[in-house]
Amino acid sequence: MQSMLAPSVHDSSAPQGDVDDVVATVVSHQRVNAEYNLLVLAAQAPACNAVAGQFFNLECPSDGDDQPFFRRPMSTYKADPVRGEVEFLYKVTGAGTRGLATLNAGDEMRILGPLGHGFTLDPAWKNIVILGRGVGLATLAPLAELAAANGVGVTAIISARGPEQVMSVERFSALGARIETVLDSDGSSAPDNVEAVLRALHGQGYADALFTCGSNRLMLLMQRLGAELNIPGQVAMEQHMACGLGMCFCCVRNFKVGDKVDSRRVCWDGPVFDLQEALSW
């Protein structure tokens, strides 16, 4: 069966910065809550030069019956060129992440990166809104730091099932970000409420641009509001991936460009894309 979609005509320049496959050493590995772990790796440049929104292809250890064949793509939670470290916040969901969870301080692992195109900030923007859910927050946290470093105000809307799943508040707070927490448990994460929050932020001049990751529902909401209110935006996307270097064409997604549908590689052309061009996950 052949897809009836038009072939990709999208060409982006090579992803930003150098890339290498290096052996990194686990500095620390801690459980953040019942579902998420924080992995801190010592890795010199270019790994520690990763910018917000870029990702790595991680070689996950085998553990018992779990023998992940592919590497696992994972966005950077933090990269620190001064300390020579790169961090990953992840949820244990399958063979790859279960293998990752077995790593201890001092262990070594191969990491390929930094990969892909990260978030970009327009110098004209004074205030941005970040809306994330689950592990999507791991991708968005470095963006908040990039914004703060550029004197851009951040409002972080953190969506979670319940208060125990709320993460990264300290990261965003430390940057002076305004924080709105919306939860499934009290109904505040319902689309109508999130939309009201976004409209209010826009009315107050806090939404020069919109950023999201981790939820199709929230992406579609932001996309609709962005189109209606003429607010630019960016979304970090995910897809099954093998190589991370644009070679295998496994990780394609469809995007709307004008009245055409365009197939793009998430690893090479993204993972950050224009919010208005993204189609449903």
Partner 1 sequence: MVVDLSVNVGGLKLANPVMPASGTFAEGLAGVIAFDSLGAMVTKTITAELRGGNPTPRVAEVRNGMLNSIGIPSKGITYFLEQTLPFYRQFNSPLVVSISAPTMDAFAEAAALLDVDGIAAIEANISCPNIEEDGKAFAMNAVSTSQVVTRLRAATSKPIWAKLTPNTGDISSVARAAEEAGADALVVANTILAMSIDIESFRPTLGNIMGGMSGPAVKPILVRMTHQCAKAVRIPIIGCGGISTTEDAVEYMLAGATAVQVGTATFLRPKAMIEIIAGLSTFCARKGIGRVAELTGAVVELDMEMSASEALP
Q: Does 252 bind partner 1 (CB under 8 A)?
A: yes
Q: Total binding residues for partner 1 by CB under 8 A?
A: 40
Residue type, 176: G
Strand (E) or helix (H) holding 62: none
Q: Does 280 bind partner 1 (CB under 8 A)?
A: no
Cα(204)–Cα(60) distance, integer angstroms: 45
Taking the complex as a whole, the smallest distance from the CB of residue 277 to partner 1 amounts, in Å, to: 17
From 122, 247, 256, 280, residue interacting with partner 1 (rule: CB under 8 A)? 247
Q: How far is CA 174 from the centre of its chain?
A: 20
For the segment 14-53, give every residue that binds partner 1 (CB under 8 A).
14-15, 18-21
**Nearer to partner 1 by C-beta: 35 or 66?**
66
Interaction mask 121-160, partner 1, x per CB under 8 A: ----------------------------------------
**Nearer to partner 1 by C-beta: 148 or 242?**
242
For the segment 56-85, give every residue that binds partner 1 (CB under 8 A).
59, 67-71
Strand (E) or helix (H) holding 79: strand 78-80
- Of 74-82, 193-201, 213-221, 249-257, the window that binds partner 1 (rule: CB under 8 A) is 249-257
Strand (E) or helix (H) holding 277: none
Cα(71)–Cα(53) distance, integer angstroms: 18
Distances 261 to 13, 109, 124, 279 between C-alpha atoms, Å:
20, 39, 30, 9
Whether residue 46 is preceded by a cis peptide bond, meaning omega within 30 degrees of 0, is: yes
What is the gyration radius of the CA atoms in the chain, in angstroms?
Answer: 18
Taking the complex as a whole, the smallest distance from the CB of residue 78 to partner 1 amounts, in Å, to: 23
From 26, 169, 250, 257, residue interacting with partner 1 (rule: CB under 8 A)? 250
Residue 116 is classified by DSSP as S
Q: Give the binding site for partner 1 (CB under 8 A).
A: 1-9, 11, 14-15, 18-21, 59, 67-71, 110, 112, 239-243, 245-253, 263, 268
